[in-house]
């Protein structure tokens, strides 16, 4: 399989050579990732060629090194990743935008532009993205000369002059929603243009939960970085800590003990189940079917209480450390978890038919919020949003990492692309995760919980991907000379979820937006960083 | 004496409405395997709201402030017309069923204006949806009412109920149609699932709640209380028109007490049925509400037709 896939690399390389674009190829620790370096002027051309090779745009970020800005982009074809970098002058950093080819790159480039001051020329959307007047016009917080504590002035002025897309015409009206919402959810602004109840356009304005994760990570020790990564998005704490750990472990070149990998797998699958249970109930609640919400909240709560009993934290925060895990599982606890799986399975067998057979629920969920496979692909959607629209992507299978390389599981892919499909993909993933958990709990090997850490070489880098419950999380680290972090970036699957949401709601009616939104359940915190 | 009883009956109605809301909540919680709040919780909520300072937007006009009082009073006037425990009271003769529908429409008119008044997107959205729904609910309601008035040959609710009481148990197809029509209308008018979700926090899906989002303090208390009254009003209408047995025909204390127990029992059962349907059904898509209400209208029409065809000649 790998040979067939690798074919695109050779083709791409030949095409680049034909155009006299020189590529500096570096193989990384992980065989599935290749690091290519090209000159900045070919940045756009590369994207065009990559697009022809059907590569998926995965992530984009940048950093300031001692003498230059380095801009990175990551592409993938199935499970193989291509990590592209280019160095820019510090004086006037400019780069052609790839967003014209890959719309998924748009917000990421605006993010880089706002935080590092790297200008992307010919960007289809020149507005600011994360900047909400919090910094001076020429202050770029991710630059090394910007102090960590910022320049605390008075209160940040209101963000009044953002130019939303306007619809014109008779009976067209605008509905501003948020950033503060009635429910206990994160802040984000939605601007609808609607005629009657039909949504003509939805525009998101995010960045209200910008916590400066990237800046806060600078100068941290590996342990402190994992601690921070676990707080990027609270519901994915295991996945994020794992992604940060894997990136750092790659940079250092250490392999974690098999037992630690299994424990991470167990924690991660438990996190997936907990979130999916919560989501299934919440989606039903958004169409006024409170019964499901109550049942699934109860299941999730019991699940999390077990986690508190056995692992010491309801959401499993701070269970991972660089090189392994902090928690352990006694045989007796394994038995408890296996019993719980059986009990959950039984509960679900009782509850799921109640959803399946409810025609009122069916009427609301089927055909609402349709995301076509083509749109899903355009916006690089991953996770359940992508998989319910035919995007057959799952890092656990495509780029296997321990323990998933030793386990047997099925990736659930559907083609319908509506809200119902996103519910059903979740339901099936819960069952798949139950099977995975059973395998892991039965096969978990004896051994160490963690391997000892050693300082990496100066400027070691690591790029890792983890399948969180929302989908593929990308994590990048670079160390300085002192076992401290010099750059940390993560790309949350929500980046694509939010892009897809703007298309999902088109031609739906305004009151169906909440359920469409919930079916995507993108993380504001993970997106804003 | 009669006037005193009429006033007592109205006060009883006003004071019992939160209890019905509490009981409904209790049933829903029970059906969802939850622990229910106390039956008295709606009273506590109302009391709490009256203690709070109302926050009024600087864009609000006088209309916004007087609307809660108008809505509450109009609803109270509407309930004076409705026989709760006994028929043939002086207040009942003051207005007939068509005026009753008019009182409710009057309250709604001010609610809708108040929703529009502050100029928020949600208020306007709620008002627009409320008018859409009421424009279909009111004809259906009148149609159901006409079916009943045709049998009793009066549009006065009290006389009609008296007529039904005296006639005893007669199985009328027209009443069955009218009953179902009225139930559907009641669900839509009181903003229950599947038409509206009174428990939601999602502004974009709201109808009734969207209009009152800007209200707080005693203003909100009055509107909440008025919607509890409205819920009970429809409950009493359904219970007393179609199942009037147990109502006091004389004004003796025992008959009145017995009638009170009877109506509380009837409302209790209706609340259980409503809670059941709210647990079983999801909210429907906004644009299906018109099918729902057209169906209610059709039932009302069928009721009237079956009255003319099957019953009137006798």
3-state secondary structure A57-84: EEEEEEEECCCCEEEEEEEEECCEEEEE
Q: What are the φ/ψ torsions at residue B133 (nearest 5 degrees)?
A: -70, -40
The sheet carrying A189-195 orders its strands as A172-177, A189-195, A198-205
Q: Provide the shortest C-alpha distance from residue B202 to chain A (in Å).
A: 7
- Give the count of domains, chain B: 1
Is residue A294 less than 8 Å (CB to CB) from chain B?
yes
Where does residue B295 rank: exposed (0-12), middle (13-18), buried (19+ CB within 10 A)? middle
Q: Are both A223 and A197 inside the same structural domain?
A: no
Is residue B203 less than 8 Å (CB to CB) from chain A?
yes
pLDDT of A1: 42
Whether A46 is in a domain gets the answer yes
**Of A444, A450, A241, the residue nearest A329 (C-alpha):** A444
Average pLDDT over residues B262-290: 91
Say yes or no for a CB contact (<8 Å) between B282 and A361. Answer: yes
Structure tokens at B277: 């349907």
Q: Provide the shortest C-alpha distance from residue A380 to chain B (in Å).
A: 28
**Of A513, A523, A527, A493, the residue nearest A283 (C-alpha):** A513
Whether A223 is in a domain gets the answer yes
Say yes or no for a CB contact (<8 Å) between B279 and A290. Answer: yes
In sequence order, the β-bridge partners of residue A490 are A475
Q: Find chain A residues with C-beta within 8 A of B193's C-beta.
A: 288
**Of A372, A378, A369, the residue nearest A520 (C-alpha):** A369
Q: Collect contacts of B41-44 with beta carbons under 8 A, ≥24 apart.
A: B42/B18, B42/B228, B43/B18, B43/B19
Q: Are both A323 and A261 inside the same structural domain?
A: yes
Where does residue A275 rank: exposed (0-12), middle (13-18), buried (19+ CB within 10 A)? buried
Whether A278 is in a domain gets the answer yes
Is residue A438 less than 8 Å (CB to CB) from chain B?
no
pLDDT of B74: 95
Say yes or no for a CB contact (<8 Å) between A287 and B286. Answer: no
In sequence order, the β-bridge partners of residue A476 are A463, A489
Whether A428 is in a domain gets the answer yes
Q: Percent of chain B beyond pLDDT 70? A: 99
Say yes or no for a CB contact (<8 Å) between B285 and A509. Answer: yes
- Give the count of domains, chain A: 3
Among B32, B122, B287, the residue with its CB nearest the CB of A294 is B32
Structure tokens at A231: 């707080």
Q: Are both A29 and A51 inside the same structural domain?
A: yes
End residue of a domain, out of A84, A101, A121: A121
What is the span of the domain harbouring residue B301?
2-311
Whether A129 is in a domain gets the answer no
Q: Are both A381 and A261 inside the same structural domain?
A: yes
Counting as low any pLDDT under 70, the low residues of chain A are: 1-6, 29, 153
Q: Percent of chain B beyond pLDDT 90? A: 54
Determine the 3-state secondary structure of A440 from DSSP.
Answer: helix
Q: How confident is the model at residue B1 (pLDDT cuts 50, 70, 90)?
A: confident
Q: Find chain A residues with C-beta within 8 A of B192's C-beta.
A: none
Provide ipTM, 2 decimals.
0.85
Q: What is the pLDDT of residues B36-54, one digit of tens each?
A: 999 999 999 999 999 999 9
Where does residue A171 rank: exposed (0-12), middle (13-18), buried (19+ CB within 10 A)? exposed
End residue of a domain, out of A121, A144, A159: A121
Q: Are both A466 and A438 inside the same structural domain?
A: yes
The residue ranking higher by pLDDT, B2 or B136, is B136
Q: Are both A312 and A183 inside the same structural domain?
A: no
Q: Are both A224 and A332 inside the same structural domain?
A: yes
**Of A348, A491, A368, A493, the residue nearest A429 (C-alpha):** A348
Whether A142 is in a domain gets the answer no
The rounded distance, in Å, linking the Cα atoms of A304 and A273 is 10
Structure tokens at B197: 């979700």
Say yes or no for a CB contact (<8 Å) between A182 and B201. Answer: yes
Structure tokens at A443: 């096969």
Q: Are both A272 and A409 inside the same structural domain?
A: yes
Q: Please, are residues A524 and A209 in contact by the beta-carbon 8 Å criterion?
A: yes
**Of B91, B113, B193, B104, the residue nearest B141 (C-alpha):** B104
pLDDT of A5: 57
Q: Are both A198 and A287 inside the same structural domain?
A: no
The DSSP call for residue A326 is: S
Q: Are both A386 and A417 inside the same structural domain?
A: yes
CATH of the domain at A78: 3.30.460.80
Say yes or no for a CB contact (<8 Å) between A288 and B283. Answer: yes
What is the span of the domain harbouring residue A356?
213-528
Q: What are the φ/ψ torsions at residue A287 (nearest 5 degrees)?
A: -110, 25
Q: Which of B275, B276, B282 to mutate to test the interface with A (most CBs of A within 10 A)?
A: B282
First CA to last CA across chain B, in angstroms? 39
The rounded distance, in Å, linking the Cα atoms of B277 and B187 is 10
The rounded distance, in Å, linking the Cα atoms of A327 and A197 is 51
Q: Find chain A residues with C-beta within 8 A of B33's C-beta.
A: 294-295, 298
Q: Burial code of B235-250, b = ≥16 C-beta within 10 A, e = fewer?
A: bbbbbbbbbbebbbee
Say yes or no for a CB contact (<8 Å) between A509 and B287. Answer: yes
List the single residue in B with minimal CA-CA distance to A293.
Answer: B32
Q: How confident is the model at residue B313 (pLDDT cuts 50, 70, 90)?
A: low
Q: Are both A100 and A184 inside the same structural domain?
A: no
The rounded distance, in Å, linking the Cα atoms of A72 and A63 is 8
End residue of a domain, out of A185, A205, A225: A205
Where does residue A100 rank: exposed (0-12), middle (13-18), buried (19+ CB within 10 A)? middle
Distances (CA, A) of A528 to A187, A450, A492: 11, 32, 9
Q: How confident is the model at residue B274 (pLDDT cuts 50, 70, 90)?
A: very high
Q: Are both A223 and A177 inside the same structural domain?
A: no
Whether A153 is in a domain gets the answer no
Structure tokens at A247: 């990136």
Whether A287 is in a domain gets the answer yes
């Amino acid at each position: 399989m790998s040979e067939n896939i690798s074919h695109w690399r050779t083709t791409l390389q030949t095409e680049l050579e034909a155009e006299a674009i020189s590529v500096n190829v570096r193989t990384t620790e992980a065989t599935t990732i290749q690091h290519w370096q090209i000159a900045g002027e070919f940045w756009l051309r590369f994207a065009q060629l990559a697009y022809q090779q059907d590569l998926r745009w995965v992530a984009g970020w940048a950093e300031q090194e001692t003498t230059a800005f380095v801009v990175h982009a990551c592409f993938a074809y199935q499970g193989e990743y291509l990590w592209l970098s280019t160095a820019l002058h510090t004086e006037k950093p400019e780069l052609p935008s790839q967003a014209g080819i890959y719309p998924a790159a748009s917000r990421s480039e605006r993010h880089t532009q706002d935080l590092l001051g790297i200008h992307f020329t010919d960007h289809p959307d020149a507005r600011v993205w994360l900047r909400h007047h919090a910094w001076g016009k020429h202050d770029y917080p991710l630059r090394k000369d910007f102090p960590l504590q910022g320049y605390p002035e008075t209160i940040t002025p209101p963000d009044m002059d953002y130019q939303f897309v306007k619809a014109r015409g008779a009976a067209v009206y605008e509905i501003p929603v948020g950033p503060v919402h009635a429910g206990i959810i994160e802040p984000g602004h939605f601007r609808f243009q609607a005629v009657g109840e039909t949504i003509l356009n939805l525009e998101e304005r995010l960045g209200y939960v910008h916590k400066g994760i990237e800046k806060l990570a600078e100068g941290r020790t590996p342990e402190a970085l994992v601690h921070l990564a676990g707080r990027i998005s609270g519901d994915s704490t295991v996945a994020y800590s794992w992604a940060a750990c894997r990136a750092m472990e790659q940079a250092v070149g250490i392999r974690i003990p098999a037992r630690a990998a299994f424990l991470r797998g167990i924690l991660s699958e438990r996190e997936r189940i907990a979130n999916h249970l919560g989501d299934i109930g919440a989606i039903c609640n958004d169409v006024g079917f409170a019964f499901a919400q109550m049942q699934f909240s109860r299941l999730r709560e019991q699940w999390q209480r077990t986690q508190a009993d056995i692992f010491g934290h309801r959401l499993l925060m701070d269970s991972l450390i660089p090189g392994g895990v902090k928690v352990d599982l006694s045989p007796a606890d394994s038995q408890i978890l296996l019993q719980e799986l059986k009990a959950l399975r039984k509960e679900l067998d009782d509850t799921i038919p109640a959803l399946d057979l409810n025609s009122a629920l069916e009427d609301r969920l089927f055909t609402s919020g349709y995301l076509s496979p083509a749109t899903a692909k355009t916006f690089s959607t991953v996770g359940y949003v992508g998989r319910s629209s035919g995007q057959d992507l799952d890092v656990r299978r495509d780029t296997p990492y321990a323990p998933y390389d030793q386990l047997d599981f099925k990736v659930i892919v559907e083609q319908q692309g509506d809200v119902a499909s996103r519910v059903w993909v979740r339901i099936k993933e819960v069952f798949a995760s139950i099977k995975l958990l059973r395998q892991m709990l039965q096969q978990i090997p004896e051994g160490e919980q963690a391997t000892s850490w050693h300082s990496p070489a100066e400027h070691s880098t690591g790029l890792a991907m983890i399948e969180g419950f929302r989908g593929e999380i990308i994590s990048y680290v670079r160390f300085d000379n002192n076992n401290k972090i010099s750059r940390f970036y993560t790309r949350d699957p929500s980046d694509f979820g939010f892009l897809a949401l703007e298309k999902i709601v088109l031609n739906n009616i305004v009151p169906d937006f909440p359920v469409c939104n919930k079916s995507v359940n993108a993380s504001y915190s993970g997106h804003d960083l | 004496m009669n006037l005193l009883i009429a006033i007592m009956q109205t006060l009883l109605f006003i004071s019992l409405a939160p209890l019905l809301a509490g009981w409904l909540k209790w049933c829903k919680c029970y059906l969802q395997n939850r622990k229910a709040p106390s039956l008295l919780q709606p009273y506590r909520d109302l009391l709490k709201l009256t203690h709070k300072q109302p926050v009024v937007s600087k864009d609000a006009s006088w209309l916004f402030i007087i609307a809660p009082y108008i809505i509450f009073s109009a609803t109270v006037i509407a309930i004076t017309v409705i026989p709760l425990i006994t028929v043939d009271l002086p207040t009942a003769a003051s207005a007939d069923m068509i005026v009753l529908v008019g009182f409710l429409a009057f309250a709604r008119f001010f609610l809708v204006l108040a929703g529009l008044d502050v100029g928020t997107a949600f208020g306007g959205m709620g008002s627009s949806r409320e008018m859409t729904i009421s424009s279909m609910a009111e004809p259906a309601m009148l149609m159901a009412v006409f079916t009943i008035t045709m049998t009793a040959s009066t549009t006065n609710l009290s006389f009609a109920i008296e007529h039904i009481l005296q006639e005893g148990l007669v199985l009328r197809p027209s009443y069955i149609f009218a009953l179902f029509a009225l139930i559907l209308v009641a669900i839509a008018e009181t903003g229950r699932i599947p038409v509206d979700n009174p428990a939601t926090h999602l502004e974009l899906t709201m109808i009734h709640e969207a209009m009152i989002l800007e209200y707080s303090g005693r203003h909100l208390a009055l509107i909440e209380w008025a919607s509890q009254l409205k819920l009970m009003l429809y409950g009493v209408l359904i219970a007393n028109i179609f199942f009037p047995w147990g109502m006091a025909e004389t004004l003796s204390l025992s008959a009145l007490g017995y009638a009170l127990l009877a109506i509380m029992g009837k409302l209790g059962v209706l609340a259980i049925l409503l809670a059941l349907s709210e647990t079983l059904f999801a909210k429907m898509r906004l644009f299906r509400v018109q099918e729902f209400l057209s169906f209610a209208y059709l039932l009302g029409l069928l009721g009237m037709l079956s009255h003319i065809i099957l019953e009137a000649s006798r």
